[in-house]
Amino acid sequence: MIILEDLKRIAEIEFSDIVENTDRIGTKLRVLLIDDSFIDVWLSQKLEDRFGFHWEEKGTGLSYRYDNFPNTKWVNVSTYPFHFHDGSQDSVIDTSRFERDIKAGFRGFIGRFSVYPAYAVSILLRVHGTVFLVQQVGLAG
């Protein structure tokens, strides 16, 4: 069974370029990102393989969530019960872009918001909580 500690390690190690910190808040994991936004991770305590990954964008009010909680409102989504809230609670699309395995799905979800590849050096500028990519230089590999 996947536990929050597994996903915490993935965030802190594999996405250290965008993850500032992680906190356990009750039964969820909060992943704080360098742009002051955050991802909340829920794993069902009762039903194995039920999860929700929720990214809240700072300043815009937009939110994105990948989950497989069987809300009958989304029964017509082709990947039901897996679905993706694309910018708001009511904008829901299929999840064909994400893996259904919890760890792989989490990697795909957090990676969707990772704009700073590990093979490059990025020069970032933070203005009023917003991070701008000023320059990016690829490293010889």
- pLDDT, residue 141, reads 34
The answer to whether the Cα torsion of 7, 68, 111, 128 is positive or negative is: negative
* Residue 110 contacts residue 11 (beta carbons within 8 Å): yes
What does the block give as tokens for 93?
A: 């699309």
79 exposed, middle or buried (CB, 10 Å; 0-12, 13-18, 19+)? middle
Measure the CA–CA gap between 35 and 37, rounded to whole angstroms.
Answer: 6
CB atoms within 10 A of CB 27: 10
Whole-model pTM: value is 0.76
Establish how many alpha carbons lie within 13 A of residue 123's alpha carbon, considering only the half-sphere containing its beta carbon: 4
Report phi then psi at 23, rounded to 5: -135, 140
Q: Residue 120: its pLDDT value, please?
A: 36
pLDDT of residue 137: 42
Per-residue pLDDT in tens (0 to 9) along the chain, 141 residues: 679 999 999 999 999 999 999 999 988 999 999 988 999 999 998 888 899 999 988 888 889 999 999 999 999 999 999 999 999 999 999 988 899 999 999 999 998 866 533 333 444 455 555 555 554 443 333
Strand partners, 24: 29
Cβ neighbours around 90 below 10 Å, total: 8
